[in-house]
C-alpha cells in the first residue's frame, strides 16, 4: 500500500510516539504569544490509498444518486477494499478463550486519535508562571544546584529571558531577588525600599512590557540577616504580628511599583487579611493576593536557598512552615486564607504534595496554584543529565500531573522549556 499524507506531514510508525503528546500541545489561541514566532506542530494524518483504487481518488462516472442506488439494489455493488485479515499473533502464543468482559477500558486507548479525544486534562503555556532570580550585576550567574537557571542581571539578562518566555506564550513571571549582604538587617527593612531591586525591576519590566503579569514574593528572607521569613527575637522565636507589619509595607511597595499579584510565602498568621487592608488603604484594590496557603517545611527548597544565598543562619522554618506529615492542617490554612480575601491559593512543593492540591481544589472555588520547587526541578535535570530518565518527557508528565491534581497555574523553573515543547519547538 502506498502512503499518502495530508498537510505534507507524515508521522509514520517511526514518529508515532509523537502522538503521545498531542494533548500537551498548546491551545491554538495563545493570545499572549507573538503569532509569528509560535510554531505549532501540524495535525498529522496518514492516509493509505487502496490498491483497488490505483492509488488515486476514485473517478466519478456522472451517475445520479438514483442510478447509484438502483445499481446496488440490482446487485451490482461497486468494489471496496476486502474485509481486512485478522492480524496474526506470534508463533507460540497460547490459545485462550476470550475473557467474558463487558468492559475493556483498553478500547478507548487503542489509537492516538481516541487517546487525544478522551484526554481529561490539558496544559498550555498560559497555565505557567516563570520564577526568575535577579541580582544587581550585569552578567548572568549560573546557579550550580539548578542547571539552566541563572541569577539574571535585572537590566539585561532578565529582560531577554522575559522576551523569550513571551515568545512562547508565557506572560507571567515571579521575581526572586538576590540582595547584597550589606543591605540585610534583622528587621529586613530593605524589603520595602521603593528603590530596591524588586520595585526597580518591576518598573523596568512594566515600562517595556505593560501586559506582562508580575507576581512578587512577599517574605523577609532575602532581606533578613538571619535568613528567616520573619523577624527573629533574641530567644529564636519568629515574631508573627511584627513581621506581618513589615510584610504589609513590602506588599504595598511592590504594588506601588506595578506588581499585579503579591504572593506572601512567609506563612505568618493573618498576613493575607492584613496585606489586603494595607493594599486597599493605599488604593491598590486591583492588586491580587496569591497566598502560599499550604507551604511545607520542605527539604525540596535546598537549591533555591543556594540560588539566593538565603539559608537560615540558624534553626529551621518549622515554627511557621507546615509539617510535611500534615494533611488536615492544610484545610485550616485554606479556610483562613479564603476568609481573609486571598485571590489564589498556592500549594508548595508540588509533586510530592498532589493530595494537598486535590484537597484545596475540592474545598475551594478559588484558583489553585502549585509550585514545582527547586528540588523537584533539579532532580529531573540531574536524572536527565545522567541519562537515567528522559528529561523532557518527565518534565511534561510532572506538569500534567500537577494540572490533573487540580492546579490551575503552575510556578515552574521549566516554564520556558515546557512552553517551547508545547509549541513544538525542539531545542
Ligand atoms: C521563601 C521562599 C522559598 C521558596 C520560595 N520562597 C524558600 C524557603 O521557604 O526557604 C522556595 C522555592 C523553591 O525551592 O523553588 N520565602
Catalytic site residue 348? yes
What SS3 class is residue 57? coil
| Residue 286 CA, ligand 1 centroid: distance in Å | 26
pLDDT digits (tens, 9 = 90+) for 306-348: 888 888 988 999 999 999 999 999 999 999 999 999 999 999 9
Confidence (pLDDT) at 58: 87
With cell 510554531, the residue in question is 39
Confidence (pLDDT) at 4: 36
Catalytic residue of the set 295, 317, 338, 381: 295
pLDDT digits (tens, 9 = 90+) for 10-47: 333 333 333 334 344 444 433 334 434 444 444 555 55
Confidence (pLDDT) at 46: 54
Confidence (pLDDT) at 47: 56
Catalytic site residue 206? no
What SS3 class is residue 230? coil
C-alpha cell at 70: 438502483
Tell me which residues have their CB closer than 6 angstroms to ligand 1. Answer: 217, 219, 221, 229, 265, 301, 304-305, 317, 373-374
- The closest-lying atom of ligand 1 relative to the alpha carbon of residue 219 is 16
The CA distances from residue 287 to 194, 216, 301, in Å, are: 17, 11, 27
Count other Cβ atoms within 10 Å, centred on residue 93: 8
Question: Could you give the angle at the alpha carbon of 206 between the alpha carbons of 205 and 212, nearest 5°?
Answer: 90
C-alpha cell at 217: 514574593
| Residue 373 CA, ligand 1 centroid: distance in Å | 8
Q: Is the pTM value of this prediction over 0.75?
A: yes
Q: Are strands 213-218 and 46-49 parallel, antiparallel or unpaired?
A: unpaired
Q: Which residues of the chain have pLDDT under 50?
A: 1-42, 49-53
Confidence (pLDDT) at 421: 97
> Which of 173, 219, 266, 414 is the best mutation target for the ligand 1 pocket, counting ligand atoms within 8 Å of the beta carbon and taking the most?
219
What SS3 class is residue 200? helix
Give per-residue burial for 248-267: e unless 16+ CB within 10 Å, then b: bbbbbbbbbbbbbbbbbbbb
Nearest to 374 by CA among 269, 281, 302: 302
Amino acid at each position: 500500500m502506498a502512503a499518502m499524507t495530508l498537510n505534507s506531514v507524515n508521522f509514520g510508525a517511526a514518529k508515532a510516539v509523537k502522538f503521545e503528546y498531542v494533548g500537551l500541545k498548546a491551545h491554538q489561541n495563545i493570545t499572549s504569544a507573538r503569532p509569528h514566532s509560535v510554531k505549532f506542530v501540524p495535525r498529522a494524518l496518514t492516509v493509505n490509498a487502496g490498491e483497488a483504487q490505483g492509488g488515486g481518488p476514485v473517478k466519478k462516472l456522472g451517475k445520479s444518486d438514483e442510478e447509484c442506488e438502483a445499481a446496488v439494489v440490482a446487485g451490482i455493488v461497486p468494489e471496496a477494499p476486502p474485509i481486512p485479515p485478522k492480524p496474526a499473533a506470534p508463533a507460540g502464543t497460547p490459545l485462550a478463550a476470550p475473557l467474558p468482559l463487558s468492559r475493556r477500558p483498553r478500547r478507548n486507548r487503542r489509537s492516538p486519535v481516541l487517546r487525544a479525544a478522551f484526554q481529561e486534562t490539558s496544559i498550555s503555556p498560559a497555565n505557567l508562571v516563570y520564577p526568575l532570580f535577579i541580582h544587581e550585576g550585569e552578567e548572568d550567574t549560573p546557579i550550580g544546584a539548578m542547571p539552566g537557571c541563572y541569577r539574571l542581571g535585572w537590566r539585561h539578562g532578565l529582560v531577554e529571558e522575559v522576551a523569550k518566555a513571551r515568545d512562547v506564550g508565557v506572560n507571567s513571571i515571579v521575581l526572586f531577588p538576590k540582595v547584597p549582604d550589606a543591605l540585610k538587617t534583622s528587621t529586613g527593612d530593605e524589603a520595602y525600599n521603593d528603590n530596591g531591586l524588586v520595585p526597580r525591576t518591576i518598573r523596568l519590566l512594566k515600562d517595556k512590557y505593560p501586559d506582562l503579569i508580575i507576581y512578587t514574593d512577599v517574605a523577609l528572607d532575602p532581606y533578613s540577616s538571619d535568613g528567616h521569613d520573619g523577624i527573629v527575637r533574641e530567644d529564636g522565636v519568629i515574631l508573627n504580628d511584627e513581621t506581618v507589619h513589615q510584610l504589609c509595607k513590602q506588599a504595598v511597595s511592590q504594588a506601588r511599583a506595578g506588581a499585579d499579584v503579591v504572593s506572601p510565602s512567609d506563612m505568618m498568621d493573618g498576613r493575607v487579611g492584613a496585606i489586603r487592608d494595607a493594599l486597599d488603604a493605599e488604593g491598590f484594590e486591583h492588586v491580587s493576593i496569591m497566598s502560599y496557603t499550604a507551604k511545607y517545611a520542605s527539604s525540596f527548597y535546598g537549591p533555591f536557598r543556594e540560588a539566593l544565598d538565603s539559608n537560615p543562619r540558624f534553626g529551621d522554618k518549622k515554627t511557621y512552615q507546615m509539617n510535611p506529615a500534615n494533611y488536615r492542617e492544610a484545610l485550616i490554612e485554606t479556610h483562613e486564607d479564603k476568609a481573609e480575601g486571598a485571590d489564589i491559593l498556592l500549594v508548595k512543593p508540588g509533586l510530592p504534595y498532589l493530595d494537598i492540591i486535590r484537597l484545596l481544589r475540592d474545598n475551594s472555588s478559588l484558583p489553585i496554584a502549585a509550585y514545582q520547587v527547586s528540588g523537584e526541578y533539579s532532580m529531573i535535570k540531574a536524572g536527565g543529565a545522567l541519562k537515567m530518565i528522559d528529561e523532557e518527557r518527565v518534565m511534561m508528565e510532572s506538569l500534567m500531573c500537577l494540572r490533573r491534581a487540580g492546579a490551575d497555574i503552575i510556578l515552574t523553573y521549566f516554564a520556558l522549556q515546557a512552553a517551547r515543547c508545547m509549541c513544538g519547538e525542539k531545542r
